[in-house]
C-alpha cells in the first residue's frame, strides 16, 4: 500500500463472531482496553462471554450483536492509538453500521452496545421459531432473483407467504429472507435457473418486512439515543450513501431492520469516494475476514486487509500510519 492511500473502514455484522475475540487487543492496547471496559460497564458479563463463551451463548442474536460492536470498535481504537490513518469514509454490514458510528464518534460505545442488545432481542422475538428462514443464493444475477421473487410474492400473497432480498453481499452472492415456505419455494425456482442455494442457520428472517415489529420497538430506543456529528462520513445500508445529517441516523437505522443491505453498492461508492489519487485501502475492523473476502469479489484488484488481533494490529497499523 502507498502510504498516502486513503483508508475506508468496514465493520462486520453477524456471523463473524468467535470466542476469544477482542482479548488480544485488550492486552495489547490501552485504547482497546478502555473501550472494552466501557462496553462491559454498560453490559456486565459481555467480556466474559466474548472471551470464554460458551459458543452457544455467543451465537444468540442478542449476544452476538453487542459482542461484535465491542470487538470492532476496540480494533479501531487500537489501530488509531498505534498511529493508523483516519478513514475518509466508513461502513458497516447491517449490525456493523452501529460500529461505524462508534468509530466515527457519532455514537458512544455504551449507547451502541445497549442499542444492539435490544435490537437483537427485538429481532429474535419478532418471528416465532421455524416461521421464517434465510438462504444464500449463489451463481445467479440479482435481476434474475428479483424476477423470481416478484412472481412468487404475487402468487402466494393471499396465503401469507413472502420472500425478499435481504443482503446484496457480492456479485453472485445474494441472501433471501422471508417465511419458511416462501424461501423454500424461491430456492426451488432459483435452482431451476442454475443457482446454488445454501440454507442459513439463523434465528430469524432478518432484513425483510417480517422484522417490522422489531423495527417499531427499536425506533423508540433510537429516537432516545444521541447521534453527534461524525468525524468522517458513515454509509447507510438503506441508501448506500453517506449519512448527511446526524438527525437522520435513527430513522435510517430503523429502516435498516426491514430493508435490504446494499453492501455491493456501499463498497463501490466508498471505493469511488475514497480514491483520491494514490488509491484506497479497505480495513476491516472486528473479528475475522468476511468483509475482506467480499471486497475482493466486489472490486477488482482491491487492497483489503483485516485487523482483529495483536499480529494484524501491528501489521495493518504500521502499514497505514498517518
Active-site annotation holds for 320: no
DSSP-derived 3-state class of residue 138: strand
C-alpha cell at 82: 498505534
Element of type H or E holding 22: none
Is residue 116 within 8 A of residue 65, CB to CB? The reply is yes
189 vs 79, 137, 186, 192, 196, CA distance in Å? 46, 11, 5, 5, 11
155 vs 158, 174, 207, 274, CA distance in Å? 8, 22, 21, 44
Q: Give CA–CA dist 98/80, Å, rounded.
A: 18
Active-site annotation holds for 94: yes
Element of type H or E holding 6: strand 6-11
C-alpha cell at 103: 468509530
Q: Which of 39, 34, 29, 138 is nearest to 78 (CA)?
A: 29
Q: Give CA–CA dist 287/17, Å, rounded.
A: 6
Q: Give CA–CA dist 67/65, Å, rounded.
A: 5
Among candidate residues 29, 94, 236, 320, the one labeled active-site is 94
How many other C-beta atoms are found inside a 10 Å radius of the C-beta of residue 110? Answer: 15
Among candidate residues 177, 207, 236, 317, the one labeled active-site is 207
Q: Give CA–CA dist 107/112, Å, rounded.
A: 7
| DSSP classification of residue 237 | T
Q: Give CA–CA dist 293/302, Å, rounded.
A: 10
DSSP-derived 3-state class of residue 219: helix
- The residue with cell 417465511 is 179
Name the residues annotated as catalytic.
94, 207
Amino acid at each position: 500500500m502507498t502510504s498516502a492511500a486513503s483508508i475506508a473502514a468496514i465493520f462486520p455484522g453477524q456471523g463473524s463472531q468467535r470466542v476469544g475475540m477482542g482479548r488480544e487487543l485488550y492486552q495489547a492496547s490501552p485504547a482497546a482496553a478502555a473501550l472494552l471496559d466501557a462496553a462491559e460497564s454498560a453490559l456486565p458479563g459481555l467480556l466474559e462471554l466474548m472471551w470464554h463463551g460458551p459458543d452457544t451463548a455467543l451465537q444468540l442474536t442478542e449476544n452476538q450483536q453487542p459482542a461484535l460492536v465491542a470487538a470492532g470498535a476496540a480494533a479501531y481504537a487500537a489501530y488509531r492509538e498505534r498511529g493508523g490513518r483516519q478513514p475518509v469514509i466508513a461502513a458497516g454490514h447491517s449490525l456493523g453500521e452501529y460500529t461505524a458510528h462508534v468509530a466515527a464518534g457519532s455514537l458512544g460505545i455504551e449507547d451502541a452496545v445497549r442499542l444492539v442488545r435490544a435490537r437483537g432481542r427485538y429481532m429474535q422475538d419478532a418471528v416465532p421459531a421455524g416461521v421464517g428462514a434465510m438462504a444464500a443464493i449463489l451463481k445467479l444475477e440479482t435481476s434474475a432473483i428479483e424476477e423470481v421473487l416478484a412472481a412468487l410474492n404475487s402468487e402466494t400473497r393471499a396465503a401469507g407467504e413472502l420472500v425478499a432480498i435481504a443482503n446484496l453481499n457480492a456479485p453472485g452472492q445474494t441472501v433471501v429472507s422471508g417465511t419458511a415456505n416462501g424461501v423454500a419455494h424461491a430456492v426451488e425456482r432459483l435452482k431451476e435457473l442454475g443457482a446454488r442455494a445454501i440454507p442459513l442457520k439463523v434465528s430469524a428472517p432478518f432484513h425483510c418486512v417480517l422484522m417490522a415489529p422489531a423495527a417499531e420497538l427499536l425506533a423508540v430506543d433510537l429516537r432516545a439515543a444521541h447521534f453527534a456529528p461524525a468525524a468522517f462520513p458513515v454509509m447507510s445500508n438503506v441508501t448506500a450513501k453517506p449519512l448527511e445529517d446526524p438527525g437522520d441516523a435513527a430513522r435510517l437505522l430503523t429502516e435498516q431492520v426491514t430493508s435490504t443491505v446494499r453492501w455491493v453498492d456501499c463498497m463501490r461508492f466508498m471505493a469511488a469516494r475514497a480514491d483520491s489519487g494514490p488509491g484506497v485501502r479497505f480495513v476491516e475492523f472486528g473479528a475475522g475476514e468476511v468483509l475482506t473476502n467480499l471486497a475482493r469479489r466486489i472490486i477488482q484488484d482491491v487492497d483489503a486487509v483485516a485487523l482483529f488481533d495483536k499480529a494484524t494490529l501491528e501489521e495493518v497499523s504500521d502499514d497505514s500510519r498517518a
